[in-house]
Amino acid sequence: MREKQQVAREQERQRHRTMESYCQDVLKRQQEFEQKEEVLQELNMFPQLDDEATRKAYYKEFRKVVEYSDVILEVLDARDPLGCRCFQMEETVLRAEGNKKLVLVLNKIDLVPKEIVEKWLEYLLNELPTVAFKASTQHHQVKNLTRCKVPVDQASESLLKSRA
């Protein structure tokens, strides 16, 4: 087996020793490289156009949503709330005409210890209205989703700041 490999290597060396075979090999490799380069350029060209078009379409839809909405919900993962936050989106919503409201929804609180959820809620409530929400969609969510029975004009300041 080893002798066959050595013979094959020697034949390869002999083939490259002549100038003509060397030039043919270089031309062949150059053509292969150019073909691969053309294919790569074609592949790279389309995603860039697609990404730009997708980005523009997404932003256009986002502006429509903000324009037609009174309240925007930003869903944050309780495991990494700051990593999920989009401060540019928040700024856009808060600067939009029409007195838009932004509410943070802290989702998947059942996957994080209660003490940590409480600290995140305290932190986020200092910035924006925040609601805690479990990842499961079972009947336990009813108390989080019910309306407060007190009219806004009669509500105390502490009730308005609370999660009730």
**Are the C-beta atoms of residues 131 and 145 closer than 8 Å to each other?**
no
**pLDDT surpasses 80 at 113:** yes
First to last CA, the chain: 80
Please tell me the predicted confidence (pLDDT) of residue 8: 86
**What is the number of other CB atoms lying within 10 angstroms of the CB of residue 74?**
17
Question: 82 in a domain, yes or no?
Answer: yes
Same domain, 91 and 103: yes
Same domain, 80 and 122: yes
- Three-class secondary structure of residue 131 per DSSP: strand
**Are the C-beta atoms of residues 117 and 78 closer than 8 Å to each other?**
yes
Q: Count how many domains the chain has.
A: 2
Same domain, 136 and 99: yes
Please tell me the predicted confidence (pLDDT) of residue 145: 58
Same domain, 56 and 94: no
Q: What is the DSSP string of 62-114?
A: HHHHHHH-SEEEEEEETTSHHHH--HHHHHHHHHSTTT-EEEEEEE-GGGS-H
Same domain, 64 and 98: no
**pLDDT surpasses 80 at 139:** no
**pLDDT surpasses 60 at 115:** yes
Query: What residue type is 7 in one-letter code?
Result: V
Domain housing 47? 18-68
Comparing CA positions, the residue from 105, 103, 100, 102 lying closest to residue 117 is: 105
